Amino acid sequence: MFVGIDVSKDRLDIHVRPVGGAFVVSRDGKGLEELIGRLRALAPELVVVEATGGFETIVAAAVGGAGLPLAVVNPAQIRHFAQAIGRRAKTDPVDAAVIAHFAQAVKPPPRPLPDEAQSLLGELVARRRQIIEMLVAERQRERLVSNRRVRKSLARHIATLEKELREIDRDIDTLVRGSPVWREKEDLLASVPGIGHTIARTMLAELPELGTLDRRRIASLAGLAPYTRQSGRWKGKSAIGGGRAPVRAALFMAALVASRKNPVLKLHYQRLLRAGKPKMVALIALARKMLTILNAILRDQKQWQSA
| 3-state SS record for 89-112 | CCCHHHHHHHHHHHHHHHCCCCCC
Query: Helix (H, G, I), strand (E, B), or coil: what is residue 229?
Result: coil
In Å, how far are 20, 41, 185, 249, 286 from 222, measured between CA atoms? 35, 36, 18, 9, 14
Decide if pLDDT at 236 tops 70.
no
Chain mean position to CA 173: 21
What's 110's DSSP letter? Answer: P
Residues whose CB is less than 8 angstroms from the CB of residue 298 and which lie 6 or more positions away in sequence, other chains included: 185, 188, 189, 210, 211
Query: Helix (H, G, I), strand (E, B), or coil: what is residue 16?
Result: strand
* pLDDT, average across residues 208-216: 86
Query: Helix (H, G, I), strand (E, B), or coil: what is residue 7?
Result: strand
**pLDDT per residue as tens digits for the range 148-175:** 999 999 999 999 999 999 999 999 998 8
Using N-to-C axis directions, what is the helix angle for 180-190 and 279-300, rounded to 10°? Answer: 140
Give the Cα separation of 89 and 4 in Å (integer): 17
Amino acid identity at 83: Q
What's 194's DSSP letter? Answer: T
Give the Cα separation of 67 and 178 in Å (integer): 29
Q: Looking at per-residue confidence, does 112 or 209 come out higher?
A: 209
* pLDDT, average across residues 128-150: 92
Decide if pLDDT at 58 tops 90.
no
Q: Minimal CA–CA distance to 92: which of 42, 151, 52, 41?
A: 52
The angle formed by the CA atoms of residues 207, 211 and 213, to the nearest 5 degrees, is 85
Residues whose CB is less than 8 angstroms from the CB of residue 33 and which lie 6 or more positions away in sequence, other chains included: none
Q: Looking at per-residue confidence, does 234 or 282 come out higher?
A: 282
Q: Is the dihedral of CA 257, 260, 261, 265 positive or negative?
A: positive
- Model confidence band, residue 255 (pLDDT cutoffs 50, 70, 90): very high
pLDDT of 230 reads 65
Decide if pLDDT at 37 tops 80.
yes
* pLDDT, average across residues 38-53: 87
Q: What is the pTM of this model?
A: 0.70
Give the Cα separation of 114 and 75 in Å (integer): 20
Decide if pLDDT at 204 tops 80.
yes
How many Cα atoms are found within 13 Å in the side-chain-facing hemisphere of 97?
14
Beta carbons of 194 and 261 less than 8 angstroms apart: yes
Q: 3: which strand partners?
A: 16, 47
Q: Is the dihedral of CA 3, 242, 122, 216 positive or negative?
A: positive
Give the Cα separation of 42 and 234 in Å (integer): 48
